[in-house]
């Protein structure tokens, strides 16, 4: 049981480049989310999905797109990378019932130069 798998683990981008951060889970979880973690600021929600075909914006969605074509996959696309997007990105998934916690991936450390 792999849990939540994120790729790549590390990435360096030049300003203006685009890329997709991959996230896959094999637990049949309905809920999936993307967070970014910056020093001293905890984790902030970027986008989330409550099921295949359904996505919504979180606290800091600007500059990012998501789609959820299958239950398993929830990729995060950076449209035109900016230095302010340098961060550690985490994907997480959860069952839909109350009381369930989220399972997090091991993160992608992104540097935009």
Partner 1 sequence: TQLLEQSPQFLSIQEGENLTVYCNSSSVFSSLQWYRQEPGEGPVLLVTVVTGGEVKKLKRLTFQFGDARKDSSLHITAAQPGDTGLYLCAGVSSGSARQLTFGSGTQLTVLP
50 binding partner 1? (CB under 8 A): yes
Residue-wise DSSP of 59-100: SS-TTEEE--SSSSB--EEESS--GGG-EEEEEEEE-SSTTP
Handedness of CA 5, 42, 19, 72 (dihedral sign): positive
Residues 72-91 close enough to bind partner 1 by CB under 8 A: 90
26 binding partner 1? (CB under 8 A): no
14 binding partner 1? (CB under 8 A): no
What does the angle CA 92 – CA 93 – CA 98 come to, to the nearest 5 degrees? Answer: 125
- Options 11-19, 42-50, 63-71, 76-84: segment touching partner 1 (CB under 8 A): 42-50
- Options 17-25, 36-44, 61-69, 76-84: segment touching partner 1 (CB under 8 A): 36-44
What residues form DSSP beta bridges with 92? 33, 104
> For binding to partner 1 (CB under 8 A), which residues are involved?
4, 31, 33, 35, 40-45, 48, 50, 56, 58-59, 90, 92, 94, 96, 98-107
């Amino acid at each position: 049981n792999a849990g939540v798998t994120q790729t790549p683990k590390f990435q360096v981008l030049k300003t203006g480049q685009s890329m997709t951060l991959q996230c896959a889970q094999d637990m049949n979880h309905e809920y999936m989310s993307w967070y970014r973690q910056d020093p001293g600021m905890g984790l902030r929600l970027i986008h989330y999905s409550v099921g295949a075909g359904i996505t919504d914006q979180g606290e800091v969605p600007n500059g990012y797109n998501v789609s959820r074509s299958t239950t398993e996959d929830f990729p995060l696309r950076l449209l035109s990378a900016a230095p302010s997007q340098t961060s550690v990105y985490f994907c997480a998934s959860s069952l839909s019932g109350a009381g369930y916690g989220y399972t997090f991936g091991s993160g992608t450390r992104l540097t935009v130069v």
